[in-house]
Amino acid sequence: MSEPSPFVFETTEATFEADVLDRSREVPVIVDFWAEWCAPCRTLKPVLESLAREYGGKFVLAKANTETAPGLAAEFGVRSIPAVFAVKQAQVVDSFVGALPESKIRTWIDRLLPTPAEMAADEARGLEATDPVAAEAGYRSALGLAPDLPQAKIGLARIALGKGRTDEAGALIADLERRGFLEPEAEKLKAELLLRNQAGGSGGVDAARAALERNPGDLERKLTLAEALAAAGRYEEALECCLELVEQDPKHVGERARKTMVNIFQLLPPDSDLVGDYRRRLAAALF
């Protein structure tokens, strides 16, 4: 029997999200799909466990028994075992099938570990809440090591937006978007940036509300109020205001209001009740 290790554990369908997806945002997670009857699995198991202990937390090993977690195996498309997957930032980044020699597994693992630039960016992320100046310096240091490192650019954009440097944040997001996609965190920053830019000339919520009260039938002023509410983080009020515009004038000002709603959805957790409610109501208003 192998000795217990904090870096090796069994995962199940019930605990997989916390064990693997959530934890992979902090450290690479290697998922080993195995079964008791599988001879190659019994060969591979001690090698992976020994390496997990040796690396001392640079990665963790989650073991998934295909007999007790068939749903996980199906989700990963496992056709034969042992099947081993590497998960980082809640995404599968590499895999192999079969009992490879230890030397090849070690090389495979080393490719998963964070580079010096990634470690600098991770350290900077940890400083953002307490020392944003040091965090910004850390992200710039990371970019000095790896000029295209996405998490460093995202971190700098987040800090720039927090300090009101919207032009700088926008340039960083645009640079990331040239790859043809954005990470979820970058999508959120883009949505927040768009909302701020839209509300830039509103003068704030009170001014926008006063302008609408002077001319209650002006749909443009109503949209300005919605944008000001969104920029101020008053999302439910903003969504309600936008939805009314979609219902009143779906093809003109309502279309811009719809886009504002989509930007707000990007900023909120996808499973939030607010998002679910207003997505349904928006769909009903449009169709």
Among the listed residues 38, 51, 195, 219, the single catalytic one is 38
Among the listed residues 8, 29, 31, 41, the single catalytic one is 41
- Reading the block at residue 71, the tokens are 């749903």
Catalytic, 38? Answer yes
Using CA atoms, how far residue 4 sits from 7, 34, 154, in Å, is 9, 18, 38
- Reading the block at residue 270, the tokens are 């996808």
Residues, the chain: 287
What 8-state DSSP symbol labels residue 244? H
Which residue type, as a one-letter code, is found at position 27?
V
- Dihedral, CA atoms, 80, 32, 9, 112, nearest 10 degrees? -170
The answer to whether 154 and 189 have CB atoms below 8 angstroms apart is yes
ω before 82 within 30° of 0 (cis)? yes
Catalytic, 241? Answer no
Distance separating alpha carbons of residues 26 and 246, to the nearest angstrom: 41
108 CB burial (10 A radius; 0-12, 13-18, 19+): middle
Please identify every residue annotated as catalytic. Answer: 38, 41
